[in-house]
Amino acid sequence: VEDGEDVYYENITKCPFLDMAKKMGISEIPCDFICKYDVELALRDKRGRWEVLSRMGDGAEECQFRIREWKEE
């Protein structure tokens, strides 16, 4: 609970998309497409308010998302 609101965290320590990009020698990380798309889709479908806190593609040890219940603004 943060600021009186239930908050959930998703931690990902293995990303097959990032692994494949590295294996294929692609310099562009897939995070901008994959993670951003997940967040936008969740918001559009009102499944929650997602926020990317860290990405392995940026050098973090894991990808971390903060997920809060959907609330009309």
Instruction: Note whether residue 32 is domain-resident.
Output: yes
Could you give the angle at the alpha carbon of 64 between the alpha carbons of 60 and 38, nearest 5°?
A: 115
- Is the pTM higher than 0.75? yes
Is residue 63 a part of any domain in this protein?
yes
pLDDT at position 52: 95
pLDDT at 71: 85
Average pLDDT over the chain, rounded to an integer: 93
Q: Which residue has the tokens 């308010």?
A: 49
Asked if residue 56 is part of any domain, the answer here is: yes
How many domains are there within the chain? Answer: 1
Count of alpha carbons within 13 angstroms of residue 62, beta-carbon side: 7
- Going by C-alpha positions, the residue among 52, 48, 40 that lies closest to residue 70 is 48
pLDDT digits (tens, 9 = 90+) for 13-31: 999 999 999 999 998 999 9
What's 24's DSSP letter? T
The percent of residues in the chain predicted with pLDDT above 70, rounded, is: 100
Please give the residue range of the domain that contains residue 59.
7-68
